[in-house]
Structure 1
């Protein structure tokens, strides 16, 4: 029997049940009918959306904590965008603007930006402060920290 996973929709934030062997087959949300994976980083604009994606989704979530005024953040953004296309649907790629949602930066004690954090099963399992400059570096770092 094929395992089912909970995947939170990036559009309406509904939790969907998706067979693991169907993740790569462009699954859509049962509620809003939008694609569950877009190949682009998902902007998590508030704590509720962040918590839902990190806590409810059974796929890992890679989060870039960044700010619009941050030069290294802007430098890393194109590589992070490319990495999203490469990493999804194995994991969700998301961004949190620490200026817009400072409570999350405080909760996770983000001391420098950009900071990448990988969440698996609702827990932070790895953190990388500072910019990674290529999609390959970002993807390699994320994959290295995924559970086997």
Structure 2
């Protein structure tokens, strides 16, 4: 097991090496200077999801949603609460299925909201439907 992680910056895509002993909450990107973790799920495009999956070592949680989806909007604050607790051990992302239809199709998304747990470039778990933050964290704990 390595004593460092590779963390991909959601702002610029740079790969940052993070020693395990370092306080990740205070860590900044070596390229753009932004905080690597701010407790808020990043709204990203398909390219950033791919980069997080393939270049980073953290588990990646992706909320696939759309702006017109009522349950998606209802779950958004709960997902944000879960991110505040789950970071920096995991990377929390939001993927708009309307703007990233090819990636949604690639993942076989049939309904939204759908959450995916990705590790080492592969999907390891998924769940559909709106959930509370405690349900999200429980699901992540079961599938970690």
TM-score by length of 2: 0.95
The SS at the match of 1:21 is coil
Deviates more, 1:1-10 or 1:32-41: 1-10
Residue number in structure 2 paired with 1:50: 49
Gapped regions of structure 2 (runs ≥ 5) = none
Residue number in structure 1 paired with 2:140: 142
Shift of the 2–115 alpha-carbon distance from structure 1 to 2, 3 Å rule, reads closer
Q: Does the CA-based 8 Å contact 1:27-1:35 persist in structure 2? A: yes
Shift of the 2–53 alpha-carbon distance from structure 1 to 2, 3 Å rule, reads closer
Gapped regions of structure 1 (runs ≥ 5) = none
> How many angstroms does 1:23 deviate by?
4.8
Alignment: residue pair count: 144
Match runs of 1:26-37 below 5 Å: 26-37=26-37
Which contiguous aligned blocks of 4+ residues in structure 1 show a shift greater than 2 angstroms? none
Residue number in structure 2 paired with 1:91: 90
RMSD over aligned Cα atoms: 1.4
TM-score by length of 1: 0.92
